[in-house]
Structure 1
Amino acid sequence: MTAKNNADPEDSPLGVLDDAASVDTAGIGILGGTAQVRVTLPAEEDDDLADDGVVDGEVGIDLIVDDLTLPAAPKPVLDAPRLDEVIDAVVVEEPVVEDSVPEDSVPAAEPAADLVAEEEEEAAARFLAKAGADRAEVPAAKPARAPQAPVQKETTMPEADDKPVASAHARPAPRTDVTLTAKRLGELGESARESADLLTSDRLLDPHRVAKPEPEGGWSHLLYTLSGRRLNIGDGRRARERKELTARIAAPLAGGARFVPVLSRKGGVGKTTVTALLGMALADAREDRVIAVDANPDRGTLADRVQRAQHGKSVRDLVRIRDDVRGFHDISAIVARDATRLDVLASDADPRVAEAFSDDDYRDVADVAAHYYSLVLTDTGTGIVHSVMSATLDLADQIVIVSGLSVDEARLASETLTWLESNGYAQQARDAIVVLNQSTPGTPLVRLGELQAHFASRARSVVRVPYDPQIAAGGTIVFANLLPETRKAARELAALLVEGLRAKAA
């Protein structure tokens, strides 16, 4: 406290006490970090202030309150993310190493303005009360200090964007330079999920580090052998064509069994032979089951064209046990299987049987075969007006028509297409495959170009099967022993058939 004698109390900028008997605060001000209070006391003649060396006049007292420096506002503390909001995946993009803010280093916030003003008024009132008790005796003393405002341990930050304010004891805030991406499993779309069948060798293995298979072809294999199996230039042209043709035949067929009848209006053109060749080419390249049914009402020869066990079973036996079939083992006891895995159901060969194979018999056989086979080929026999033909055409998914390389044989084959178009099978006729089978050696007398052009205008595809001495002999056909041209023609026929069936299913 500092006493000051003012010559003119009215000129004092801090004010003058109105009554000598009371002591009031003339003025209170805060300068920077110091609270200053000035008090003016009137002088009395009978006062004993003179004994203490106080000059006449008014006495001014300055109250200095130190240590009111207010702490700086703390830095904003980011809201810590909830743990359950980060569920499945956290993607961190180029994190920057930065020390997290320790809990003890968070400074306390500045006290509210009302609290500071209230503390200043209490300090000034206590001082003035003591000054009034002494009346005019003001001893020289050190400047009094105002009581320090208590520092709150936990303060709150100003609200921003209507978000909750974190306390000083909250968890350390995460780094602001980290990008977090989280998705729950339920939020992932079905298009983003992958099944196990997508983990294929072509996708996962590096083709440059995978050893190529041994090449096929004359020069390719010779170069591979001479280089000590180090130089592999791949398959030759013929090997590539053969593998591509195999892939066409082996293409999957969705849905149930497909029925393919092979028919002609004239005997001796090679209908049974074409049925056997087509079945062998399909069974040799495909993984599913293929069966050829001899539905000739009379004595058929399809079973004689394939290697089979001499068990004497026929379609008549399958018709007899159709209600007792419980699995494929019941079927395998009746059919014959050759080296290509083609199953053949022979016709009834007993000459003492008076009843021919009928329409109902064929439907019973077809119903059982559809449960265990993907492709059912049918050798319909000679003619198209017998009793089995109606059921055969009703179930047909694709038709194969066989023609010989003579004028009358070609004309009868073309009339077969006309009959189909006139009897409600126009679409099957347009989608049919015509096979030009050469059963005699040498150059045919007819012009093959003109014959192919005629059938190409009426059917979807035309295939020519060349002469083969093994087939002409009339014995058992071994597919691996056929001429390369014959095997290629049979495989081309099988590929066209599968492509036609897939096109209809699309």
Structure 2
Amino acid sequence: MTAKNNADPEDSPLGVLDDAASVDTAGIGILGGTAQVRVTLPAEEDDDLADDGVVDGEVGIDLIVDDVTLPAAPKPVLDAPRLDDVIDAVVVEEPVVADSVPEEPVPEEPVPAAEPAADLVAEEEAAARFLAKAGADRAEVPAAKPARAPQAPVQKETTMPEADDKPVASAHARPAPRTDVTLTAKRLGELGESARESADLLTSDRLLDPHRVAKPEPEGGWSHLLYTLSGRRLNIGDGRRARERKELTARIAAPLAGGARFVPVLSRKGGVGKTTVTALLGMALADAREDRVIAVDANPDRGTLADRVQRAQHGKSVRDLVRIRDDVRGFHDISAIVARDATRLDVLASDADPRVAEAFSDDDYRDVADVAAHYYSLVLTDTGTGIVHSVMSATLDLADQIVIVSGLSVDEARLASETLTWLESNGYAQQARDAIVVLNQSTPGTPLVRLGELQAHFASRARSVVRVPYDPQIAAGGTIVFANLLPETRKAARELAALLVEGLRAKAA
């Protein structure tokens, strides 16, 4: 502030600003009192102020107050301006010193309101002490100290509260720092075993809403009739027989974990239906399951298993598979040798020439079994008559489940029971206890033996007993068409297949 900025005293109602004492001192006359404010301005390319000890970027202010009359009343007089009102009008630009700025300004505690007169006196005394100290600091700074680089000025303005208001804190509180939430991702290997699910758990029963899934067309006489008469609007579900058939299919189609399973079908007497039971079991399995099933005719003396199924007349046999076992590169090599019926059962026939069949040995069967295990889940074996021929040793060594066939006569039942005894005595006791005994009725009419007594005997020695009723198509000795069998025959074959799968699954558990 310089003398050239002074105004005419008659034009200013607040006071007179004139030169006094020195170049950096001005006097302000206020209502009979005089207040002198000494302001030292930063030098701007002017060397005249260097002799006065003024350092660039610093401001010194001296305040001299004398004979200032303050109102004694509790409430300030609004007609006359106060000294602090005049000081508020003076804006001083002061550069910010980085060393003097605190890193974390702490908000001041709000001061309770006091009497108006005491507040004004305390504020004026504090301002006077601050300005006097600033002038003393200016005088102690040596003139030879190099000037700091000028920084961006920060405008300071002191606002005094009115008499009726509470004092306002001079520093504003900085908002609390934001606490960020750290997101972490786990890799698949870091999850616990209990928290991981395999794909087979995503079943339709779990994922689909049963209320939004349309029911399939019901099966059964009355259920389907009601569904048709109601215009396909009333669906009470399947009938009892349809439900039983679907439940049996689900038991047969249950998955089998692991590799191929070998199931030999044994009999110590010819003519009891061993080949027929092998064909029925294979058809029931292949008709309900999605994996591959094969039946191998390992009868050394001209078996008839291939004659019981619909097959291609290519003349291939088990001997051909033994020859190409080292050249098999895929399933197409196997499909050129086996025969397949309507249920998708593959059948590997035995040799038609008995003289060649005699050469089919234990090692040959193991070679066939090794190839079949690569492409099939279930391998059924139609063994020859008796249990001591050349192929029986390999058949029993590879067996996972054994099926024993008995006719409905006294001697046939006794031979079947002796087969279990032979197995128990020759190291196959566990296979004998887990075996399934099939009572096959090959003649019409009521059997002469008591079926109840026969079933009770074998139930005490084996795991399960199944009875296959007489069927004219089977008794004729021709090709078996599974869909044309009597319902009771198909049900017995499917029950045998379900028991076999359940036994294999129980061993794998």
Given the two structures, how large is their TM-score scaled by the length of structure 2? 0.67
Q: Which moved more, 1:165-174 or 1:248-257?
A: 165-174
Alpha-carbon deviation of 1:59? 34
Residues 80 and 171 of structure 1 are in contact (CA less than 8 Å); yes or no, is this contact kept in structure 2? no
Q: Which stretch of structure 1 is more off in the superposition, 4-13 or 338-347?
A: 4-13
CA distance in 2, matches of 1:179, 1:393: 63
% same residue? 99
Say whether the 8 Å CA contact 1:80–1:174 is kept in structure 2. no
Report the CA distance shift for 1:9/1:414 in structure 2 as closer, same or farther (over 3 A). same
Q: Which moved more, 1:239-248 or 1:346-355?
A: 346-355
Task: After TM superposition, give the deviation of residue 210 of structure 1 in Å.
Answer: 1.7
State the shift of 1:362 in Å. 0.5
1:194-215 Cα distance to aligned partner (Å, 9 max, x none): 6766554433432212211000
SS in structure 1 at match of 2:19: coil
Residues 6 and 18, structure 2, Cα contact 8 Å, conserved in 1: no
Q: Please, what is the CA RMSD of the aligned residues? A: 16.9
For 1:401, the equivalent position in structure 2 comes to 404
State the 1:187 CA deviation.
7.9
Per the alignment, do residues 3 and 468 of structure 1 end up closer, same or farther by CA in structure 2, a change over 3 Å counting? Answer: closer
How many Å separate the matches in 2 of 1:82 and 1:351? 136
Name the SS for the 1:381 alignment partner.
coil
1:397 is paired with a residue of what secondary structure?
Answer: coil
**1:26 aligned partner:** 26
Give 1:456's aligned residue.
459
* Partner Cα separation in structure 1 for residue 415 and residue 499 of structure 2: 23
Alignment of 1:365-444 (within 5 A): 365-444=368-447
105, 109, 117: which one aligns with 1:104: 109
Q: CA deviation at 1:8?
A: 46
Alpha-carbon distance in 2 for matches of 1:275, 1:268: 13
User: What secondary structure sits across from 1:411 in the alignment?
Assistant: helix
Residue 25 of structure 1, CA deviation: 24
Mapped partners of 1:380, 1:89: distance in 2: 118
Q: Displacement of 1:130 after TM fit?
A: 15
Aligned pairs for 1:5-404 within 5 A: 199-351=202-354, 353=356, 355-404=358-407
3-state SS, counterpart of residue 493 of structure 2 = helix
Q: CA deviation at 1:124?
A: 9.1
* Segment of structure 1 superposing worse, 168-177 or 243-252: 168-177
Unaligned runs of 5+ in 1: none
> CA offsets per residue over residues 277-296 of structure 1, 9 Å max, x none?
00000000000000000000
Distance 2:357 2:378 in 1: 30
* Closer/same/farther in 2, CA of residues 44 and 97 from structure 1, 3 Å limit: closer
Could you give the per-residue CA deviations for residues 84-112 of structure 1, whole angstroms, max 9, x where no partner exists? 99999999999999999999999999999
Alpha-carbon distance in structure 1 between the residues aligned to 2:386 and 2:507: 27
Is the partner of 1:72 in helix, strand or coil? coil
Alpha-carbon separation, structure 2, partners of 1:254 and 1:32: 111
Query: Cα gap change, 1:415/1:104 in structure 2, threshold over 3 Å: closer, same or farther?
Result: same
What CA distance in whole angstroms lies between the structure 1 residues aligned with 2:394 and 2:283? 24
The separation in 2 between residues aligned to 1:37 and 1:83, in whole angstroms, is: 12
More off after superposition, 137-146 vs 367-376: 137-146
Alignment deviations for residues 330-366 of structure 1 (CA, whole Å, 9 cap, x no partner): 0000000000000000000024537432111101100
| SS of 1:323 mapped into structure 2 | coil
Equivalenced residues, count: 504
| Preserved CA contact (<8 Å) 2:43 2:56 | yes
Q: Is the 8 A contact 1:401 1:434 kept in 2?
A: yes
Quote how far apart the aligned CAs of 1:156 are: 20
Q: Which runs of 4+ in 1 moved over 4 A?
A: 1-117, 120-200
Partners of 2:315 and 2:5 in 1: CA distance: 146
Cα deviation 1:224-280 (Å, max 9, x = unaligned):
000000000000000000000000000000000000000011111000000000000
Q: Is the 8 A contact 1:37 1:124 kept in 2?
A: no
Give SS of 2:363's match.
Answer: helix
Deviation (angstroms), 1:129: 10
Cα distance change, pair 188–107 in 1 and its aligned pair in 2 (3 A): farther
Q: 1:105 to 1:186 in 2, by over 3 A?
A: farther
In the alignment, is the contact (CA less than 8 A) between 1:307 and 1:339 conserved in 2? yes
User: SS of the residue aligned with 1:45?
Assistant: coil
Compared CA separation, residues 64 and 407, structure 1 to 2 (3 A): farther
Deviations 1:407-427 (A, max 9, x none): 000000000000000000000
Aligned 8 A contact 2:111 2:166 in 1: no
CA distance in 2, matches of 1:2, 1:69: 27
| Maintained 8 Å contact 1:159/1:165 | no
**Residue pair 2:62, 2:132 contacting (<8 A) in 1 also:** no
The structure-2 alpha-carbon separation of the partners of 1:174 and 1:59, relative to structure 1 and needing over 3 Å to count, comes to: closer
**The 10-residue stretch of structure 1 (290-299 or 127-136) with the greater mean CA deviation from structure 2:** 127-136
Separation of aligned partners in 2, 1:386 and 1:242: 39
With 187-196 and 175-184 compared, the bigger mean Cα shift is at 175-184
CA contact (8 A) 1:42 1:58 kept: yes
User: Judging changes above 3 Å, is the alpha-carbon distance between structure 1 residues 145 and 282 closer, same or farther for their aligned structure 2 residues?
Assistant: closer
Shift in CA distance, 282/112, structure 1 to aligned 2, threshold 3 Å? farther
The structural deviation recorded for 1:38 is 23
* Alpha-carbon distance, 1:447 to partner: 0.4
Q: 1:139 to 1:492 in 2, by over 3 A?
A: closer
User: In the superposition, relative to structure 1, how do residues 177 and 296 fare at CA in structure 2: closer, same or farther (>3 Å)?
Assistant: closer
Say if 1:307 and 1:353 are closer, same or farther in 2 by CA, change over 3 A. same
Q: Partners in 2 of 1:443 and 1:16 — Cα distance?
A: 142
